A = this chain, B = another copy of it.
Amino acid sequence: MSPDARRALTRSMTSSAPTPKFLSALSGETHANPPIWFMRQAGRYLPEYRAVRATAPDFISFCFDPEKAAEVTLQPMRRFPYDASIVFADILLVPGALGQKVWFEAGEGPKLGEMPSIESMAEKAGNAGEALKLVGETLTRVRSALDPSKALIGFAGAPWTVATYMIEGGSSDRSGARTYAYQNPEKLDALIQVLVDSTVDYLAMQVDAGAQALKLFESWAEGLSEPLFDRLVTQPHIRIIEGLRARGVTAPIIGFPRGAGTLVEDYAAKTPVQGVALDTSASAKLGQEIQKTKTIQGALDPLLLRAGGDELLRRVDQLLEQWNQGPYIFNLGHGILPDTPIANVELVLERVTGHKVGG
Chain A interfacial positions (CB closer than 8 Å to B): 175, 178-179, 182-183, 185, 222-229, 259-266, 279-286, 299, 301, 303-304, 306-307, 309, 311-312, 315, 318, 333
B281 touches A223 (CB 8 A): yes
B226 touches A284 (CB 8 A): yes
State A222–B299 Cα separation when bound (angstroms). Answer: 14
The 8 closest A-B pairs by CB, nearest first: A261-B261, A182-B307, A262-B286, A262-B283, A261-B281, A178-B303, A225-B301, A179-B303
A280 touches B225 (CB 8 A): yes
What residue in chain B is nearest A182 (Cβ atoms)?
B307
Give the residue of B185, B229, B307 whose beta carbon is less than 8 angstroms from that of A311. Answer: B185
What residue in chain B is nearest A301 (Cβ atoms)?
B225
Q: What are 6 contact pairs spanning A and B, CB under 8 A?
A: A179-B307, A182-B307, A223-B301, A225-B304, A228-B301, A261-B264
| A174 CB, nearest partner CB in chain B, Å | 9
What residue in chain B is nearest A185 (Cβ atoms)?
B311
State A182–B303 Cα separation when bound (angstroms). Answer: 8
State A315–B315 Cα separation when bound (angstroms). Answer: 39
A263 touches B280 (CB 8 A): no
Q: How many copies does the complex hold?
A: 2
State A283–B179 Cα separation when bound (angstroms). Answer: 20
Give the residue of B182, B279, B283 whose beta carbon is less than 8 angstroms from that of A266. Answer: B283
State A223–B293 Cα separation when bound (angstroms). Answer: 25
| A303 CB, nearest partner CB in chain B, Å | 5
| A42 CB, nearest partner CB in chain B, Å | 22
B281 touches A227 (CB 8 A): no
| A119 CB, nearest partner CB in chain B, Å | 25
Q: Which has the most chain B C-beta neighbours within 10 Å: A185, A260, A307? A: A307
B264 touches A262 (CB 8 A): yes
State A301–B318 Cα separation when bound (angstroms). Answer: 35
CB neighbours of A306 from chain B (8 A): 179
What residue in chain B is nearest A306 (Cβ atoms)?
B179
Give the residue of B226, B261, B282, B304 whose beta carbon is less than 8 angstroms from that of A182. Answer: B304
A222 touches B225 (CB 8 A): no
B318 touches A227 (CB 8 A): yes
| A323 CB, nearest partner CB in chain B, Å | 12
Give the residue of B183, B226, B264, B303 whose beta carbon is less than 8 angstroms from that of A175. Answer: B303
CB neighbours of A281 from chain B (8 A): 222-226, 229, 259-263
| A149 CB, nearest partner CB in chain B, Å | 31
What residue in chain B is nearest A318 (Cβ atoms)?
B227
State A281–B299 Cα separation when bound (angstroms). Answer: 20
What residue in chain B is nearest A260 (Cβ atoms)?
B281
